[in-house]
Structure 1
Amino acid sequence: MLFVKLSIIRPKRLINRFVAFATKVVYNESIKKGLITWQRF
C-alpha cells in the first residue's frame, strides 16, 4: 500500500529510474556489439 502511494505521488522518479536503467542496458549492449565488431576487423 505504501509503495503504491509512493508510485502515485512520485511517478517521475520511477520513470527516470527506469529510463536510466534502460539506457544503461542499451549502452552496455552497444559496447558488447562494438567489441565484437572490432574483433572481426
Structure 2
Amino acid sequence: MELTDQEKELIEQIRNYKNAKHNPSKTLRVLIVELFYNLLDG
C-alpha cells in the first residue's frame, strides 16, 4: 500500500508536533486536524 501526498504530509506534521513536546504549537495542531479532516472528506 502506497501513501498519498496528503497522508505523508499528515504523518510528517504529527511527527513534528510530537518532537516539539516541550513547546507544542497550537497552529501546528490546527494544521494536523485540518489535514485529517481533509483526508476523511476525500
TM-score tier, shorter chain, comes to 0.3 to 0.5
TM-score, with length taken from structure 2: 0.45
The structure with the largest helix share of the pair is 1
Of structures 1 and 2, the one with the larger relative CO (CA 8 A, separation 6+) is 2
Q: TM-score, normalised by structure 1?
A: 0.46
